[in-house]
Amino acid sequence: MMENMIKKQASERLLIIMMLTVTFSSMSILLFNFVLPLISEEFQLTNSQVSWVTSAYTLIYGIGTAIYGKLADRFQLKNLLTFGLILFSFASLLGFFSTSYWLLLVARCLQAAGAATIPATATLIPIRYFPIERRGTAMGTVFVGTALGSALGPVISALVVSAVDWRWLFCIPLFLLLTLPFYFKYLGDEKGADTNLDWLGGALLALAVTQILLGVTNDAGWLIGGIVASILFIIRIHSVKQPFVQPELFKNKKYSSNLVLAFFITGMGYSLFFLTPLFLADVQKLPASLIGFAMVPAAAASAILNRQGGKLADSKGTSYLFFLASSLLILCFFLLSTFIGSSAWFIALFLIMGNVGQSFMMIAMSKSISIPLPKEHAGIGMGLLMMQNFISGSIAIGIYGRAVDIETRSSWNPLLHSSMGTIYSNIFFVLVILHVVILIVYKLRKINEKHKGKFVNQK
């Protein structure tokens, strides 16, 4: 009894350390978004050149989550985290002393290569150290770090740049080195099977994802290479004994269908992060210095309520949390579509519903995806989830960016009370319809699973 209590306390402490680590990881993605004009001015760069400071980071970070997830199925988590955090810190020092753009870009790429171990580990700790009935709460706690990072990133970036040179932003991730002793104390020595790693398969996956994302965000010509690399990857995993991703993983209908569902939901959720700064500047005419602060209440609300969302997933089931999250998102998108020209105060309130709904949705989907995963495939299974989140987000941003450029005065929402921001209203109105369709499909799938379960029991 006493031993179980000690283990429970250790796992809770591990979860808090992981949450803080995820907070710094999430901040590192956003910190440099707000200083791109300063970097562009210092190094005399075009907008497309300076955008690689964040684009390259996001790309490597997304691909790295799948690779580290695969490595976690074989190596100890504490060793992967140690390697990742030390690389992250070394790259941060390199960036702090950078005197040229190429060195800055190398530092950001190395930062991403190290930081990618964090989301891969963050999704595995709730699976390995918490029973299914407590897994939702554990995942909700980890996602608090994502929300905190989103809330603190703009504020800290603004404060640092107002006082010192933008390079000091590189010093913030160095605090992660303080977490290493705690990981060595609370993480166990368990590791997966000692199998060979299919590095060629991993390289083909990375190549496919890179070219697809470049095709979506830059030049469509890259898509051809992405398709070819994807075909080669599929051939590879079916032709070797120990592939990078076991084909059987995708034959698991619950896992694969939830992965597809998460792909579309994530892409729709990115509208809140990408479009909000645009319409706050375009429609509400907020200055850049206030846009970040207008988004803070929503991120703060998500941080406060995420653990409660996880508890709901554990006590009432993932379906209950899914329906609650869908309701919040539908309401948020409908209000944004209808009152897009309203005061920034009202917009901030609508965003709270949307951010909380999106956070609850990711908890529900993460737990649903983790349950059918066999232990030996948990790392790559959750790593693919994290990677597809970045793919979905990048594709969605490309679509939203093109949609915003469309000039229109025709509103699709008959209840729109103002002619301002019509294109934003139309985008959010489409998202309302899509979320309603997804909710119906999800409900029908659950009814079908229930009937199948009754049929199996009768047999």
Assess whether 206 and 262 both reside in one domain. Answer: no
**Domain end call among 142, 161, 188:** 188
Tell me if 319 is assigned to some domain: yes
Tokens of 98: 């950078």
Assess whether 275 and 391 both reside in one domain. Answer: yes
| DSSP symbol at 375 | G
Assess whether 239 and 265 both reside in one domain. Answer: no
CATH number, residue 340: 1.20.1250.20
Q: What is the pLDDT of residue 193?
A: 61
List Cβ<8 Å contacts ≥24 apart for 446-449: 446/319
Assess whether 36 and 67 both reside in one domain. Answer: yes
Assess whether 319 and 433 both reside in one domain. Answer: yes
Assess whether 217 and 331 both reside in one domain. Answer: no
Low-confidence residues of the chain: pLDDT under 70: 1-7, 47-48, 191-195, 217, 219, 288-289, 451-459
Q: In whole angstroms, what is the distance from residue 428 CA to residue 271 CA?
A: 8
Q: What is the pLDDT of residue 456?
A: 44
Contacts of 376 (CB under 8 A, 6+ apart): 73, 192, 193
Assess whether 144 and 276 both reside in one domain. Answer: no
Cβ burial of 410 (10 Å; 0-12, 13-18, 19+) is: exposed
Assess whether 381 and 261 both reside in one domain. Answer: yes
Structural domain harbouring 88: 1-188
Rg (CA), the chain: 22
Contacts of 322 (CB under 8 A, 6+ apart): 361, 364, 365, 368, 442
Tokens of 259: 């992965």
Indicate the number of domains in the chain: 3
Q: In whole angstroms, what is the distance from residue 372 CA to residue 383 CA?
A: 15
CA dihedral 169, 77, 245, 360 (to 10 degrees): -60
Contacts of 148 (CB under 8 A, 6+ apart): 19, 23, 26, 299, 303
Q: In whole angstroms, what is the distance from residue 61 CA to residue 68 CA?
A: 10
Assess whether 184 and 203 both reside in one domain. Answer: no
Contacts of 235 (CB under 8 A, 6+ apart): none
Tell me if 394 is assigned to some domain: yes
Assess whether 153 and 204 both reside in one domain. Answer: no
Tokens of 316: 């009432």
Q: What is the pLDDT of residue 289?
A: 65
Tell me if 327 is assigned to some domain: yes
